[in-house]
Chains A and B, each alone.
Chain A
Amino acid sequence: MVRVDGGGSSNSLIKARGLGKNYSRGGEQIHVLQALNLDVEQGEFVAFMGPSGSGKTTLLNLLGGLDVPSAGSITVAGDEITNMSRSKLTQWRARHVGFVFQMYNLIPVLTAFQNVELPLLLTSLSKAQRRKHVETALGVVGLSDRIHHFPRQLSGGQEQRVTIARAIVSDPTFLLCDEPTGDLDRKSADEIMELILRLVKEYKKTVLMVTHDPLVAARADVTLHLEKGVLVEADRLQTVSSGGAR
């Protein structure tokens, strides 16, 4: 069960304690995240919401090992990533994290197959094994018939599916999705959300997702709001808001 009070169980898949992130801009210190706690268990689907600049993407980057915190610690599946060197962190990302970006970030000169194959090139899998994995991943996202298409030959929704296939192809520990539907129309967004839900339900994937869209967030098991650098659960936020209104 997702918790933000620092009291999660010891077997949480993702555990953040006292997480802080500061930026220095023009000599001024900006505290984006402050003493943030988070516990996420295996197979949970968590959505993060909050106003622009509230630190949602920063939090995702920290959890994905793309950035290092100014304070606190992050432990994923027993590995504390906050003290890892840059190269160790890179290796760790390759094994444990699947990224889905808002702008898809596919390599335009590679086909869907080649884009999905990218993470596998770092493994010791044979060419035939890689092919099998890629075809499976593209099959899961429903793009078996677009395997040799280049990104420019695909719609936005299809591109995002390729991104998801690339994220899951190496069977990572968890997926980080940064506004995965932010650049899509409602229909495509729904399809992508269906796909993510299927990954959670059928394949027991743990998904952490940043979104601005309440309808998208509503599909997650739990929605957390980032307010002034700390996480607040949605229902609690609602209670606080209602209480404030009374």
Chain B
Amino acid sequence: MKFIGLIRANLFRKKVRLLLTLGSFAVAMCLFGLLVVIRGAFNQGIDVAGANRLVSYNRIGLINPLPLSYRDRILQVPGVTGVTHQNWFGGVYQDPKNFFPQFVIDPESQRKMYPEFNIPDDQWQNFLKDRQGAIVGAFTAKKFGWKVGDRIPIQGTFLPGTWEFNIDGIYHGTRANDDESQFWFQWDNFENYIETKKITRYLGMVGWYTIKIDNPDNALRVAKAVDSLFANSDYETHTDSEANFAAGFAKQMGNIQFLILSIGSIVFFTLLLVTGNTMAIAVRERTSELAVLKAVGYSDRFVLLLVLFESMVIAAFGGVLGLLAAKGFTLLPANVNPIRSFFPLLYLSAGMFAVGVTAALTVGLVSGVLPAFGAMRLRVVDALRRV
């Protein structure tokens, strides 16, 4: 504690430089935080995927549907404890920029399949009774200012027309990184439209199946059994774990992810070099002072630790500032944060925050090591001669 005055005085010796060094550290760590956030957003589906859930979709591609009749046959496969189906809707609310995922769901099986989504019972019951009802995730509801009881129009794209929905309920994820951006509406509503408009391509067809299994260890066996059930049919299936299914989605944007991460990493590394260099200069400027400290009895080890500590204090403060900025960015509402249009769930977890602080401290340590060793090895006689 008695050396705090010395450390503080050294840190604040050149306020502008301190500010710039802190700033460069903060920018680097903010970038680190954002890279973690974006990487997390790319892989969000994988992180929250249920280990006991499989997804079965048309072998030709996800855009091709599967017959609704498959549901009962899948249920017969040993190890399968539940099946639900979804369709992609892809409608537009007011403006195409207002993207959020919309799914046609089978309400009963959907709720059993996804216990991680919390919906008040009274809202759920209203939804079941309301053919034009919809359940919306808390994020999307907040983004558009929707509340239960609102009636909202959505413009169909590949199923044209204006679809009117009643917001019957709002769901919340039970885990911090659960996706709260989805919009669900009833299979009956969808089916009615298809039948009325006589759109044969989608008549009795679903987008994909989500299958619940009794034990994650059986995933491979069940997937094979499901696929072999429909082998050589007009609608062959490809069944995979939910995590792999989500990873497949993420992989589609793999190049963008790689590009963002590589550019980010290069900028991050460059900033670290700049910071390290600044710290080395700061130590070099104090050569004679360090020599005086040694002359009056401060040990080589003390001088080493002094320089390292100063470096790490700057790193810690800059790092925490940068990570807080990244965290703040993830909390910005969608109307001022354009990235949220693509990634509704931007999330910097406490764990990753801690990793960031550790990374900052490590960088502080690494960038301080060379100047600190130089200071430690400094010979008083040589240093004073340089003055």
Measured CB to CB, the residues of A under 8 A from B are 61, 64, 66-67, 86-87, 90-91, 93-95, 99, 101, 103, 105, 107-110, 114, 118-119, 121-122, 127, 166
B13 touches which of A90, A93, A103, A109 (Cβ 8 Å): A109
Evaluate contact between B300 and A121: CB separation under 8 angstroms: no
Please tell me the number of chain B residues within 8 Å of chain A, measured between CB atoms: 26
**Chain B residues near A93 (CB-CB < 8 A):** 295-297
Q: Which residues of B contact A121 (CB under 8 A)?
A: 2-3, 6
Residue numbers in A under 8 Å from B6 (CB-CB): 110, 114, 118, 121
Q: Pick the contact of B9: A66, A103, A105, A109 (CB < 8 A).
A: A109
List 28 A-B pairs, Cβ < 8 Å. Answer: A61-B381, A64-B295, A66-B381, A67-B380, A87-B299, A87-B301, A90-B297, A91-B297, A91-B299, A93-B295, A93-B296, A93-B297, A99-B296, A103-B387, A105-B288, A105-B292, A105-B384, A105-B387, A107-B9, A108-B289, A109-B9, A110-B5, A110-B6, A118-B6, A118-B296, A119-B297, A122-B297, A122-B298
Given A66-B295, A91-B297, CB of A109 within 8 Å of CB of B12: yes
Please measure, in the bound complex, the distance between the C-alpha atom of A233 and the C-alpha atom of B379, giving whole angstroms.
Answer: 31
The A-contacting residues of B in range 278-330, CB under 8 angstroms, are 288-289, 291-301
> Which residues, 1 to 30 on B, are CB-close (under 8 Å) to A?
2-3, 5-6, 9-10, 12-13
Query: Do B297 and A87 touch (CB < 8 A)?
Result: no
User: Given the complex of chains A and B, what is the CA–CA distance between A127 and B294 in angstroms?
Assistant: 22
Closest to A122 in B: B297
B interface secondary structure, majority = helix
Pair A86/B300 contact, Cβ less than 8 Å: yes
Give the residue of B289, B295, B299 whose beta carbon is less than 8 angstroms from that of A107: B289
10 nearest interchain CB pairs? A94-B297, A109-B9, A105-B292, A119-B296, A109-B13, A66-B380, A67-B381, A90-B299, A107-B289, A61-B381
B292 lies within 8 A of A90 (CB): no
Q: Are A94 and B296 closer than 8 Å at their CB atoms?
A: yes
Q: Is the CB of B292 within 8 A of A107?
A: yes
Chain B residues closer than 8 Å to A103, beta-carbon distance: 288, 387
Q: What residues of A have a CB within 8 angstroms of the CB of B294 in the complex?
A: 90
Q: How far is the CA of A134 from the CA of B44 in the complex (A)?
A: 62
**For residue B299, which residue of chain A has the nearest CB?**
A90
Bound-state Cα–Cα, A86 to B380, Å = 11
Expressed in whole angstroms, the minimum distance between the Cβ of A34 and any Cβ of chain B is: 19
Extra inter-chain contacts (17) besides given A87-B299, A101-B292, CB under 8 Å: A61-B381, A90-B297, A90-B298, A90-B299, A90-B300, A91-B299, A93-B296, A94-B296, A95-B297, A101-B384, A105-B288, A105-B289, A107-B292, A108-B289, A109-B10, A109-B12, A118-B293
